[in-house]
Amino acid sequence: MNELINKLREFTAERDWEQFHSPKNLSMALAVEVAEILEHFQWLTEEQSRHLDQETLIKVREEIGDVQIYLARLADQLGLSPLDAALEKLEINRQKYPPDKARGNSKKSTAFDR
């Protein structure tokens, strides 16, 4: 992750794009990239989405790369580490949703995000 963040800083500076990379703009770019993932899955069944053909998988991988790029860039512009943020959030969720209560419960499977 540090390698990615450093390369993104360098990439941005070389092109003088710092001026465009406000957190507001980066959050929009992040949403645009996530939608490009959604686009691949919108008409597939859940089962089909678990077994992508090679061609689609390659495209989805590129979109995942883009989302990771913008997420790292956004976090960095705010002085944050996305990995530390994720690990801490997961710890919060672990305490909030004990396994025995949440088992197999789709109502609780929003646990990552609450």
Q: Name residues contacting a second copy, limited to 34-93 (CB under 8 A).
A: 34-50, 52, 57, 60-62, 64-75, 77-78, 80, 82-83, 85-90, 93
43 φ/ψ angles, rounded to the nearest 5 degrees: -105, 5
As measured in angstroms, the least distance from the Cβ of 111 to a second copy is 7
CB 73 within 8 A of CB 26: yes
Closest CA to 96 of 76, 112, 82: 112
As measured in angstroms, the least distance from the Cβ of 34 to a second copy is 5
As measured in angstroms, the least distance from the Cβ of 5 to a second copy is 10
Q: How many residues bind a second copy (CB under 8 A)?
A: 85
As measured in angstroms, the least distance from the Cβ of 19 to a second copy is 7
The DSSP call for residue 51 is S
Closest CA to 99 of 89, 108, 107, 90: 108
Per-residue x/- track, 11-30, a second copy (CB under 8 A): x--xxxx-xxxxxxx-xxxx
* 71 burial via Cβ count (<10 Å: 0-12, 13-18, 19+): buried
